[in-house]
Amino acid sequence: MQSIILDTETHTLNGLPIEIAYAPICLEQGQLTLTKEKIFDQLYSIDQPISFASMAVHHILESDLVNQPHYTTFNLPHSVEYIIGHNIDYDIQAISRCGVDTSKLKPICTLALARSVWPDAEAHNISALIYQISQGSLRARELLKGAHRADADIILTANILMHIIALTGVKNIHDLYLASEDARIPKKLSFGKHKGTPIQELPKDYVQWLLKQNELDPYLKQALEKTML
């Protein structure tokens, strides 16, 4: 189980995971395979109440978590190297709160890839992309009825990923990882007085100032450092 698609549902924004699901995938010669029978999907109890805002998204009630294992019991299979998801950093942070060592994982973000492949899409969330891919079909509506639960989102993410693979021409999981890393490097600044300005066109003194800031996004840092070469 070298590569998995993973999704979590949390008790509040940036909170503790109350549902974790993952499925092993294989990508060889540009062909993605996922076996639904091998999906892992588990609810977890926590020591805090679920926020109503989060409940409205995933519809997991506190009563669903009674007698479920504690979230700190979750572990990834030791063989996992590549971990895929839509805004995967969120999910990696969620499982790290379980005590999982995520330092050696290679994240592949389908959200970043989707923004690169479909830059003019009206929205890049999972539901909007599924409707876009299917041209607003009835089948898409059926697929999306279970959206925002971890197991359903894995299947939807795999669907989006298959189209990304076809459009980018990647052949294997490592190439997909490299494509994701490249897609995550911003082309424009997304904040501040120069918001919307291409990174390459930012004033040099502003770039130098940004590079001195603490907790700078590592992908933005890469983009800024390239302007200094």
Global pTM reads 0.91
CB-CB neighbours of 168 under 10 Å: 17
Residue closest to 82 by CA, chosen among 92, 94, 74: 92
User: What pLDDT does residue 147 have?
Assistant: 78
Distance of CA 84 to CAs 60, 154, 194, Å? 23, 9, 32
Query: Average per-residue pLDDT in the chain?
Result: 95
Is the pLDDT at 207 greater than 90? The verdict is yes
Helices (H), 144-172: 150-168
The domain made up of 3-183 has a fold known as Nucleotidyltransferase; domain 5 (3.30.420)
18 pLDDT band, cuts 50/70/90, is: very high
* Distance in angstroms (rounded) separating the CA atoms of residues 7 and 23: 9
Is the pLDDT at 70 greater than 70? The verdict is yes
User: What pLDDT does residue 3 have?
Assistant: 97
Looking at per-residue pLDDT, the higher value among 223 and 145 belongs to 223
User: Looking at residues 52-81, what average pLDDT do you find?
Assistant: 96
User: What pLDDT does residue 126 have?
Assistant: 95
Distance of CA 11 to CAs 47, 70, 100, Å? 10, 13, 18
DSSP, collapsed to helix, strand or coil, labels residue 150 as helix
- What is the β-pairing status of strands 82-85 and 3-10? parallel
Q: pLDDT digit string (tens) for 89-148?
A: 999 999 999 999 999 999 999 999 999 999 999 999 999 999 999 999 998 998 898 778
User: Looking at residues 3-10, what average pLDDT do you find?
Assistant: 97
1 pLDDT band, cuts 50/70/90, is: low
Residue closest to 186 by CA, chosen among 128, 127, 119: 119
User: What pLDDT does residue 149 have?
Assistant: 84
Domain ranges of the chain: 3-183, 186-229
User: What pLDDT does residue 145 have?
Assistant: 83
